Amino acid sequence: MRAGSPLVVLTKTEQIYHPISADMPDVDVRQKLLPFVGKLVKITGHVYSRGGSTAISMEQIEEARSEARRDSD
């Protein structure tokens, strides 16, 4: 992942979202995502679908509360 592999968001229901920038002009969101790799997160943004792919504009990202982790175990 640090070498540049694409990062995606995987939901508890195994849906895949491609994170995109909420800013114009578009900025790279990798640096915002790297601290959250492998963690349960909450992302706020708009969802877009096209051609079988789903993307989410990353307006805000934060680590999910610990109660949410217990629910997923």
The pTM for the full model equals 0.78
Distance of alpha carbon 69 from alpha carbon 51, whole angstroms: 32
Amino acid at 10: L
- Beta strand spans in 4-64 (E): 9-10, 16-21, 41-44, 47-50, 53-58, 60-63
Burial (CB < 10 A; 0-12, 13-18, 19+), residue 56, is buried
Distance of alpha carbon 5 from alpha carbon 63, whole angstroms: 21
The per-residue pLDDT for range 5-63, each reduced to its tens digit, is 889 999 989 999 999 999 989 899 998 999 999 999 999 999 999 999 999 999 999 99
